[in-house]
Chains A and B, each alone.
Chain A
């Protein structure tokens, strides 16, 4: 099988996620049913999304494999490819190469308490994981599920439908926060690290998964460590510039590990052995 060939997919739905309209979620479905059957993924994996003439780039999958009708990618409008994507309409054709990367270690997470801490745009694969764990077939495999999710302001919180659904459930502890609120906002106001400190999730028999912008990660990790999570049970999903996604093109390495192939999910214990070049 040629790993460079994108599979054709059609855009079936476009959701404008943020009030500045800079982030949209593209729901896409396979053109060929055979491709669909072969595309098996887990939350935390990514794929190379491409538009012919514009190129390709890696995006974490925001959808959960428990919702098999389509794949979802949340895309921030920032460069040539993402601008082209934002200009597309439902029915347009894109290409997908994947799934790539290791994804979240589902087997290790089973039977544990799960604490997910996300900020801004970095929340997409945690959203996938949350929907995966909340699925009827999987929910019993995990103990307490806590989600702490923050954005700069309410209009920048993604996946509002999901947040509303999760908020109504009793089997998930959801803590939303914004840096600055508005008249309608009734939730927490404060940065993710301080809300994490306030919520103080129990670290016993628990994994902490942290995803977000560098500043959030930098100030959240000490809080998580202070709560007693050992380095092996603090997981991060990293981003790097990538081309092939196959561990060959040479740009996404941190030391001898490739973020595309060995990651993007690493434990803090693994990262502590690598040079700090990310």
Chain B
């Protein structure tokens, strides 16, 4: 990333598919955009399971209150979980600083620890043996991934670590100025 690329917001159009995409260990890797990395997984909810899924909002909130940094290896920016079409469909949207392919096994381990994978059991097509069937889990994600065709970043390519560093520095300077009074 060049020195001040973050100063100007950027948008990028993403082709539907490409032969030029980098090959990861488990398949093609969608390129990094000004909105970093991410995925949008859309799946059907198992009949009658919408409320169980909705309740995971509370379960995961609690899990994170217990250990707020548990998802650190995934370098997450944002997560949005949505039930739509009269609660028959579920969308999982995540924005990360790491691409899914590189840290797949870390993701599986962390999702297990926070109960996220158990939430997915309420989705049609999610492998029942996901605990031992890593390839099945990855296939589910890739099969249900809906790639973006356009992404926008207000501070392009900036990682969540960089943002936190900048905020810490700002706070430190502020304190320094106070101490010099």
Partners in one complex: no
User: B-contacting residues of A (Cβ < 8 Å)?
Assistant: none
User: A-contacting residues of B (Cβ < 8 Å)?
Assistant: none
